[in-house]
Chains A and B, each alone.
Chain A
Amino acid sequence: MPDKPKIGFYWCASCGGCEESVVDLAEDILMVTGAVDIVFWPVAMDFKKSDVEKMDDGSILATMVNGAIRTSEQEEMARLIRRKSKIVIAYGSCAHLGGIPSLANEFEKAEILKYIYSDAPSVINKEETYPLTEFKHNGRYVTLPVFRNIVRTLDQVIDVDYYLPGCPPTPKLLKQAVLTLLSGELPPKGAVLAPDYALCEECPRKKTKPDNVSFTQFVKPHMMLIDKEKCLLAQGVICMGPATRAGCEALCINGNMPCSGCFGPTSRVKDQGAKILSSICSNIEAKSEDEIDTLLNGIPDPVGTFYRYGLAASLLRKKIQEGK
């Protein structure tokens, strides 16, 4: 038997949920470990950077990188992985689109540091001590990774071959992806390994959506008792389903919560937030500016609502800093 193909996992700016999702494969993980050699998986096994550096370039078949890129260390590792792997897969919303961490792009780096290290209510930092990337300790220089000015998606830093969407990707999709990789019949480069239609297609509540969704109000899920059968948009709850790629089999909706868009847009859409905005607003009932305005107060945080997982991958990417 020839050598089993080598597979790696790595995490950048992420919550760890993606790693969890690998374990969620349950007994199928045996199938995976049977078929491949996991040569690099810091969260589960003790590999050092130097171990990877020693590997031959391109010797790993595929590495699944989750998490967004915020620091110089993540960037460095991403590059190293790129060099060692034939295929790099952006795994999960953060690597794919920036994910929740990229909501930080609504703020400047300085603002973030200031809040974390001095303004946050739980912090007392009278001396205004801020982390340094380099300092001298016992006569030796110690360095910390640089905190970048912006959160990036993986493909904004390195070349990415495939994307596995979701926060986190479902075990089913992961299993399919691994099988595809092993089959050798690779999809075209850049493919998102999930269906290319929107979530409504596989939503169990699809049939309850009326032909004429005319919004007269917007409510947040905690503000009402949500009907468990009825389309959420028909109840005035913002559901990203129509603008979000299918593949999760409507997990959140089955939990009686609206889709928040973690699978990102379909291939034909450049900006998921703009599209859902367009679709929802077009169907607002009000005609006068005042009425529309009042209605829109029901969406107090449009950026957080429409770009919850994708600000880094959006067209604007980042809030514009004033005065530049």
Chain B
Amino acid sequence: MYSTNGNNIPRIGFYICHCGHNIASIVDVVEVQKYAATLPGVTVSRDYKYMCSDPGQELIQQDIKEHNLNRIVVASCSPLLHEHTFRLAAEKAGLNPYYFHMVNVRENVSWVHDNKEQATEKAKDLARAAIKRVFFHKPLEKKTVQIKPDVLIVGGGIAGIHSALTIANAGKHVYLVEREPTIGGHMAMFDKTFPTLDCAACILTPKMSAVKSHPNITLWTYSEVEKIDGFVGNYKATIKRKPRYVNEELCVGCLDCIEACIYKEAKYPDEFNLGLSKRKPIYIPFPQATPQVVLFDPETCIDFKSHRCKKTCIEACERNAIDLKQTAKFEEIEVGTVIISTGFKTYDPKLSPQYGYGKLPNVYTSLEIERLVNASGPTAGEVVTRDGKKPESVGIIHCVGSRDEKSNKWCSRVCCMYSLKLAHLIKEHTGAEVYNFYIDMRTPGKGYEEFYDKFMNEGVHFIRGRVAEVTDWALVPEEENKLTIRVEDTLIGVVRRIPVDMVVLSVGLEPREDASEIRRMFNISCSSEGFFLERHPKLAPVNTFTDGIFIAGACQGPKDIPDTVAQAGAAAEALSLISAGKIELEPNTAQVIEKYCSGCKSCIPLCPYTAISFKEDIKKAYINEALCKGCGTCVAACPSGSITQNMFEDEQIFSEIEGLLKFAGIELEEKEVEHA
């Protein structure tokens, strides 16, 4: 057990951090330190350059021992950042870590105010409130829960695939759930990858088949997470497996059924090729699709519409794999951790009508060009315009749907590099004059600037200017029957009109449309642009605010392939949790004080986790601590004040309020110190 250092009389250690200049440049830390020293209960008051550093922590530990401190208050950054650090420091010195309280004078004070005097006043108030609050702190025991070893990964793009393999190779079981009929994500659509220009399929397909054949991976494609409940270490998920109308176990991917389909010609737009080619109602997304299983599109299959098809496909299947009566299946699984790697979507350039996408046929998105230049794409790698002509000149417009207040404010990070790649590939395939229109060229990364340099030497035009419009009206004869790009060549300061045969819009990366639903389902947050929010950009980049839920890849923000793969860190985090076997949770649970509870049942329906039940034998409410997650709603609602919450007791909050308001010029009576 921890020493309480004779906690009947609080002996408080108060520490304020300079955080270099971060705090000290706005808050007069010495003044706060001196002021705190005058407050009742404060035994030691210090200011220090970096409280979170080792010497800073040692300072606290030494004081605990030397001055017999039994309460610690540190005024520094946000508790979301370093509360844990300081608790640990106190614990190491033998003090129960819950005798510690943190004051946020950085994010809440020095970073958001510029009036030094007022900021210092505010810091003093916050310090006083905390000092008053710790009088009522109590020693608490941490709560630990077991971690189930299985992992759920949502999204089978390169991020999900890589994480799945990492975890599976470590001997843990993975459920990989992918919405589309195949894994591979956006990367499977690419021809080459920058900056090495190696073939995307050559890197990706071996990994895809490794996923399929790995004994530790259960792969569910064409499936979605329907529901998830529970808490870290103990999640229960329901996976909906949409019907493919083909038995996955039986289908070997021979594709005879596709051949046999009564539609002799493919006539429906192929999703994987973005509509640049056609498919039949029974199809496989692309030759290397994993798993190699065909599926039906009930929207276009005659039998689904009229029930009058000859069903030649069924006849053709030797393994009797086709089952037109198949329905959705639901799988229930229990996992300890979840990795969300749902990726991104590209900006819809129809929202920027000045570029004519959807109206002018020879305006393409970069993703469409990826398919066009791809040897296994709709044109077998031949770059031709929609009217079948080889373009003589091509304009690539950067930042479409990026760096624009009207669409997306952010830089999508990958467009400069993939535009360079496409410029090269188009030039290679067609020999056309290629123009790149960019605002700023962003090539930070290993080998990236060299990549840029190479294509400048290849004779690609680089025009610094954001294109105002792509139009089909001609001002001069050379523009007749061409697409004209109007742009200011800002490095020269002259407006130019450049006629081209093909325009490529380098569309930016956006959150998926349903990111918000996923966020709600998994109880995580999104940042303002809609990408999932990491717990901390540097200290916990793949963690979320919900324990046991990690994020990887472009669902967290635009990322290229190397960075996405590097985020297999999410897998490492999951593995480290699994190998620890258990996790400590905040002991901020609520309890009913049995002797005071009148059994009014007001609290029972309030708990979203059904942690509160009514004990029929004694006619009183009871909180199951294992289920309680510490929101405190029942505490606030208990009409007779008979529920308390650890770490957020009424007395603690009342004292915090009083502590804060003493600056109002009202001397509130110091509360009598009460202890259990």
Q: Do chains A and B touch in the complex (CB under 8 A)?
A: yes
Name the distance in Å between B640's Cβ and chain A's nearest Cβ: 4
Q: How large is the interface on A (under 10, 10 to 19, 20 to 34, 35 or more residues)?
A: 20 to 34
Q: Which of B596, B599, B602 has the most CB of A within 10 A?
A: B602
A276 in contact (CB, < 8 A): yes
Cβ-defined contact, B640 with A275, below 8 A = yes
Name the distance in Å between B368's Cβ and chain A's nearest Cβ: 44
A86 in contact (CB, < 8 A): no
Cβ-defined contact, B598 with A279, below 8 A = no
Selected contact of B598 from candidates A198, A269, A278, CB within 8 Å: A198
Selected contact of A242 from candidates B602, B605, B650, B654, CB within 8 Å: B602
Selected contact of A197 from candidates B595, B605, B614, CB within 8 Å: B595
A129 in contact (CB, < 8 A): no
Name the distance in Å between A276's Cβ and chain B's nearest Cβ: 5
Cβ-defined contact, B642 with A268, below 8 A = yes
Q: How far is the CA of A196 from the CA of B614 in the complex (A)?
A: 20
Given contact pairs A196-B596, A211-B614, A283-B606, A269 touches B601 in the complex (Cβ within 8 A): no
Name the distance in Å between A202's Cβ and chain B's nearest Cβ: 8
Interface string of B245-257 (1 = CB under 8 A from A): 0000000000000
- Kindly report which residue of chain A lies nearest to residue B640, judged by CB atoms: A198
Interface string of B631-656 (1 = CB under 8 A from A): 00100111111100000001000100
Selected contact of B642 from candidates A214, A241, A266, A283, CB within 8 Å: A266
A183 in contact (CB, < 8 A): no
B441 in contact (CB, < 8 A): no
- Kindly report which residue of chain B lies nearest to residue A245, judged by CB atoms: B640
A288 in contact (CB, < 8 A): no
Interface string of A245-288 (1 = CB under 8 A from B): 01000000000000000000110111000011011101100000
Name the distance in Å between B592's Cβ and chain A's nearest Cβ: 12
Chain B residues 551-602 with CB under 8 Å of chain A are 595-602
Selected contact of A199 from candidates B598, B619, B637, B650, CB within 8 Å: B598
Name the distance in Å between A208's Cβ and chain B's nearest Cβ: 11
Q: How far is the CA of A168 from the CA of B619 in the complex (A)?
A: 29
Cβ-defined contact, A241 with B600, below 8 A = yes
Given contact pairs A197-B640, A266-B642, A268-B641, A212 touches B600 in the complex (Cβ within 8 A): no
A146 in contact (CB, < 8 A): no
Cβ-defined contact, B614 with A269, below 8 A = no
Chain B residues 235-286 with CB under 8 Å of chain A are none
Q: How far is the CA of A201 from the CA of B598 in the complex (A)?
A: 4
Cβ-defined contact, B605 with A200, below 8 A = no
B604 in contact (CB, < 8 A): yes
Cβ-defined contact, B640 with A266, below 8 A = yes
Cβ-defined contact, B598 with A200, below 8 A = yes
Given contact pairs A196-B596, A268-B650, A283-B606, A209 touches B640 in the complex (Cβ within 8 A): no
Which residues from B are CB-within-8-Å of A197? 595-598, 640, 642
A210 in contact (CB, < 8 A): yes
Which residues from B are CB-within-8-Å of A282? 602, 606, 633, 636-637
Cβ-defined contact, B636 with A209, below 8 A = no
Cβ-defined contact, A243 with B642, below 8 A = no
Cβ-defined contact, B600 with A200, below 8 A = yes
Cβ-defined contact, B637 with A279, below 8 A = yes
A213 in contact (CB, < 8 A): yes
Selected contact of B638 from candidates A196, A211, A241, A279, CB within 8 Å: A279
Q: How far is the CA of A172 from the CA of B612 in the complex (A)?
A: 35
Cβ-defined contact, A213 with B602, below 8 A = yes
A206 in contact (CB, < 8 A): yes
Name the distance in Å between A204's Cβ and chain B's nearest Cβ: 13
- Kindly report which residue of chain B lies nearest to residue A285, judged by CB atoms: B605
Given contact pairs A211-B614, A213-B602, A279-B602, A198 touches B639 in the complex (Cβ within 8 A): yes
- Kindly report which residue of chain B lies nearest to residue A266, judged by CB atoms: B640
- Kindly report which residue of chain B lies nearest to residue A281, judged by CB atoms: B637
Cβ-defined contact, B639 with A275, below 8 A = yes
Cβ-defined contact, B639 with A242, below 8 A = yes
Interface positions of B (Cβ within 8 A of A): 595-602, 604-606, 614, 619, 633, 636-642, 650, 654
Q: List 12 A-B contacts (CB under 8 A).
A: A198-B640, A200-B598, A207-B619, A209-B600, A242-B602, A269-B641, A275-B638, A275-B640, A278-B639, A282-B637, A283-B602, A283-B606
The 4 closest A-B pairs by CB, nearest first: A268-B641, A198-B598, A243-B639, A242-B600
Q: A269-B641, A278-B639 are in contact. List 19 more A-B contacts (CB 8 A).
A: A197-B642, A201-B619, A207-B619, A210-B601, A242-B598, A242-B639, A242-B640, A265-B641, A268-B596, A268-B640, A275-B638, A276-B639, A279-B637, A279-B638, A280-B602, A282-B633, A282-B637, A283-B606, A283-B637
